[in-house]
Chain A
Amino acid sequence: MLGRPLLRFVRKDTHINFMRGRFMGLIVSAVLSIASLVLFFHPGLTLGLDFRGGIVVEAQTPGPADFAKIRAALAEHGVSHASFQSFGAANDVLIRLDAGSEQDTQTIVDKVRHTVAESLPGTTILRADAVGASVSAELFRNGMLALALSLAMILGYIWFRFEWEFALSAVITLVLDLTKTVGFLVLTGFEFDLVMVAAILTILGYSTNDKVVVYDRVRENLRKYRTMPLIDLINLSINETLNRTLGTSSTVFLASLPLALWGGATLSGFAWTMLFGIVVGTSSSIFIAAPLLLFMGEGRLKRGAKSGKATAPSA
């Protein structure tokens, strides 16, 4: 059954002139990234509990959640400044409080839990988290450190495996991908927390992988076609790897989609960010990384026999 493939993305004799859109691609990307940077400074990322500290209590009330009643009950116990938010069903309520002193944070979370349970009998507390200010600062530092170190190691790896023109254009593309992801987070209002750092790292890893495959092919073709103009050679390489590029993005996309749809509150933000990152990472391999390589490598990239650091066989 189904011994032969039924579908494929593009025919084997496909020759799309991607490089014709090289300026357009770069301009669109630059505009999006600059817009993202602006969004990053204003209004900025919504920091999650991990990084901001404070209290989050998630409760399920028997009927539709009555915010005013909970607010009044909390105020009676000396807890003000709480913000309320519904999520999912109408009887789910999310209560947030900013971090005070370490000790307060820990006592108030118990107070909130009890007040909510008492003021609305039959309420189930789904989750109650309290992160002190010192811990959140530390988690943030560690998250950024993980992000920075992984980026540095990925770059080091590409630099080691390819010539510098490849490495530099990959780096620039990754940074552009990263800024767009940040812009996406600001626009959607998804909370930036440790899980989101994991999503960004996965996107960066995936995006790098995608660029490595295209670059691998460019390098191989550089050896094969000594006289072909670089612009045609890059076009050829993208076309040759197009089925693979689209195939792998599809499988990763298909794997992330159910998480976005049914993964629940914890994972849906993560998964939507992944989906966005897959689209960005895939398109940037073609429209950003390749043109950058063209601009940087024109007349510079070595042709013919094994060149520079390129020693391993390529796909």
Chain B
Amino acid sequence: MYYSRLKLASVLGVCLLGLLLCLPNGMRKPLPSIPWRQIHLGLDLRGGSYLLMQVDLQSLTHDRLQTLSENTRDALLNAHLGYQNIAVDAAKGTISFMPRSAAETEADIAALNALPRAVPNEFSVSKREDGSIALVLAPESIRTRAREAVTQSIEIVRRRIDGTGAVDPEITRQGDDRIVVELPGISDPERIKALLGTTAKMSFHLVDANPLHATYPPQGVSLLPMADPAEGGPLPVFDHVDVDGSDLTNAGAVIDQQSGKWAVSFSFDSIGTHAFAAVSQANVGKRFAIVLDNKIIEAPVIMSPITGGNGQITGGFDAQKATDLALMLRAGALPAPLSVIEQRSIGPSLGADSIRAGMISLGVGFIMVVAFMVLFYGRFGWYADFALLANLVLMVAILSLFEATLTLPGMAGMLLTLGMAVDANILINERIREEIARGRTPLAAMQTGFEKATSTIIDSNATALLAHVMLFVFGTGPVRGFALTITIGIVTTLFTTLLLSRMLMARWYARTRPTSLPV
């Protein structure tokens, strides 16, 4: 029942500190002298878009298997081993072939096992029942690739989104193969979806001039479609990359001087310039294909050697397409396509409505709970209300300190916390009433009331805490905001009810030494 001045001062000090931490939320401009931490408004309150994107595992697997199958062919040829029916199955992650004869099986397996692995235990090689040999990618290695792809993609995604002028985008990894993109203020994310859904892998290849190869492309030549089917049918293009699009230093949308149409101009770095010059010098008069994501944008004829390291693509673009392609070339290619699997966008007016709805509910709910406590518990009710106010302040303070995101369900969580928080005061007050009815002195009644209510208060908060921690772990989006505010609210509730309101009651008793209690 006795609380020292020091203890009182420190409890009030915590409340005051809480009040200070709340302040930045009400001001627009940061003060330079104090740490400035604010609560972030969730997308459901400020409007904006949430995109959940997934790295295309199949495409990653396919790319890796393609490289491995080329390595396999080379290794077998170098070892003078024969093979038949080499097949790549991206869905299963396997490469399989029949050895020339059963006698070579051991040697084949040895040659494949000697292939360089990107990560330890990337794949295993075994003989199957039908006598064929299979190279199987380990699922773990695909996951590792996905993780790496996500890491690389995040950087590129950020550059692409920054290029659109979006304000405060948040780009975070989720799990092994997912990226969350949050775009405050952008309620129509279609352009961004298109930008992120394109890998933008650009490369330059020579076109195979042999007319026969247009129908039956041999090994090392692929038949690629035109990006714009109106430009003509597929062309046979050599697989060998003469110049890589990643060797660009700059790209921009321009209007072509001759045709007056939109085009994308680019300049190479020294490696690119050198390669481009060498290829164009040796192949004057031949067609050179500019390939973007396995589609030919254009295949002009090389008129003269290009040594300046600058070029231009005219692929029938409009202004937007040219700008976006330039942006993607500057930002770099994604290691694998990203596809949107969840999209949520909220318009600014709905967000504003939600803030208003949340604020009105919070205000009305708070006043009703405060009034209830005063009507039912008098003076001790006022103390409970003071603690309730401190509870709200501390909740906001902790949320600000963590720079947490406040969502509409989060505001509901705050309100419910306030409704539940006074339970502790009700328990204490009811217990004191009972003890008085049993004929105890005010001091003894208050002491017993505090003591006996404590374990019940802890019990009830512990069960609520368990439930909401689970919700935080397994929930997503706004619901996590709900779980977070309730979890923080339980901590502040324990502080304000077990320390603050009790202390206020005890100090009042010590000051006035009443002969009867106002219960």
Contact = CB atoms under 8 A, between A and B. Distances in A.
Tell whether A pairs with B: yes
Interface of A: 2-8, 12, 58, 60, 102-103, 106, 109-110, 113, 124-132, 134-135, 139, 142-143, 145-146, 149-150, 153-154, 157-158, 161, 194-195, 197-198, 201-202, 204-206, 208-209, 212-213, 216, 240-241, 243-244, 247-248, 250-259, 261-264, 266-267, 270-271, 274, 312-315
A195 B190 CA distance: 27
Given A12-B433, A150-B466, A4 B361 contact: no
A259 B474 contact: no
A68 to B, nearest CB: 24
Contact of A247 (B358, B376, B451, B482): B376
A264 B459 contact: no
Given A126-B350, A244-B430, A314-B452, A194 B477 contact: yes
Contacts of A135: 52, 341-342
Given A130-B344, A198-B483, A248-B422, 20 more contacts: A2-B382, A5-B381, A5-B519, A102-B341, A106-B343, A127-B345, A127-B350, A132-B341, A142-B474, A146-B473, A201-B471, A209-B463, A243-B426, A251-B369, A252-B423, A258-B365, A259-B415, A267-B358, A313-B452, A315-B457
Contacts of B345: 125, 127-129
Contacts of A204: 467
B14 interface: no
Interface in B451-499: 451-457, 459-460, 462-464, 466-468, 470-471, 473-479, 482-483, 486
B17 interface: no
Nearest to A278: B419
18 contacts: A2-B375, A12-B437, A126-B350, A127-B344, A128-B343, A146-B470, A146-B473, A194-B475, A205-B463, A209-B464, A216-B456, A216-B459, A252-B420, A261-B361, A267-B408, A267-B409, A313-B451, A314-B456
A64 B478 CA distance: 31
Find the residue from A4, A154, A255, A271 having the highest chain B CB count within 10 A: A255
Nearest to B457: A315
Contacts of B373: 251
Contact of B378 (A2, A161, A197, A314): A2
Contacts of B368: 254-255, 257-258
A185 to B, nearest CB: 16
Interface size of B as a range:
35 or more
Nearest to B479: A194
B419 A197 contact: no
B369 A254 contact: yes
A interface SS class: helix
A315 B455 contact: yes
Contacts of A264: 353-354, 357, 408
B459 A8 contact: no
Contact of A153 (B347, B467, B479): B467
B343 A312 contact: no
B412 interface: yes
B467 A5 contact: no
A129 to B, nearest CB: 5
B172 to A, nearest CB: 16
B347 A3 contact: no
Given A209-B464, A313-B455, A262 B361 contact: yes
B518 interface: yes
Contact of A197 (B340, B451, B479): B479
Interface of B: 44, 52, 187-188, 190, 193, 339-347, 349-350, 353-354, 357-358, 360-362, 364-365, 368-369, 372-379, 381-382, 408-409, 412, 415-416, 418-420, 422-423, 426-427, 430-431, 433-434, 437, 451-457, 459-460, 462-464, 466-468, 470-471, 473-479, 482-483, 486, 518-519
Nearest to A274: B416
Given A146-B470, A146-B475, A250-B372, A243 B347 contact: no
Contacts of A197: 471, 475, 479
A146 B474 CA distance: 6
Contacts of A103: 339
Contacts of A254: 365, 368-369, 372, 419
A77 to B, nearest CB: 15
A2 B383 CA distance: 12
A248 B457 CA distance: 12
Contacts of A60: 349
Contacts of B44: 266
A205 B193 CA distance: 41
Nearest to B452: A315
B466 A157 contact: yes
Contacts of B486: 202
Contacts of A110: 190, 193
Contacts of B408: 263-264, 266-267
Contacts of A209: 420, 423, 459-460, 463-464
B479 A198 contact: yes
A112 to B, nearest CB: 12
Contacts of A205: 463-464, 466-468
A154 B462 CA distance: 9
A96 to B, nearest CB: 15
Given A197-B479, A259-B415, A264-B408, A8 B376 contact: yes
A16 to B, nearest CB: 16
Contacts of B427: 213, 244, 315
